[in-house]
Amino acid sequence: MMPVKVQRVSPSELQIDWNDGHRGRHTTPILRKYCPCAACKTERDVHDGPTLLPIVVPGKNELKSIEQVGSYALQLFWVDGHRTGIYTFDYLRQICECSDCTKYTGE
């Protein structure tokens, strides 16, 4: 399973066409929220529990560029300088926000 095309359909939205015919949709706040790098994972664990007000950093949810890493992942570069998140293709499919992927979550 690999993306055949990654398209930025709006400043905050990505569309990924996969080689199995799936058309995935991702929004940048969710992509950033689920950033798989070690620092963000730790932050999510720490913040699990009482809800904290999000700290809004300018550019935090803005994508600067996207690069493919080998044949297994995409690396996302954010406007605020964050760039350590390597999103494997499997992971991207797990956090896909298209209507097919989200219809069973009840959200």
**Site residue total, Zn ion (CB under 5 A):** 8
Q: Taking CB under 5 A as the criterion, which residues in 38-57 touch Zn ion? A: 40
Q: How far apart are CA 12 and CA 32, in angstroms?
A: 11
Q: Taking CB under 5 A as the criterion, which residues in 58-87 touch Zn ion? A: 85
Q: How far apart are CA 96 and CA 24, in angstroms?
A: 6
Q: How far apart are CA 28 and CA 20, in angstroms?
A: 23
Nearer to Zn ion, 30 or 37 (CB): 37
**Binding of Zn ion by 96 (CB under 5 A):** yes
| Interface residue with Zn ion, options 6, 66, 95, 98 (CB under 5 A) | 98
CB contact at 8 A, 4 and 18: yes
Interface residues toward Zn ion, by CB under 5 A: 24, 35, 37, 40, 85, 96, 98, 101
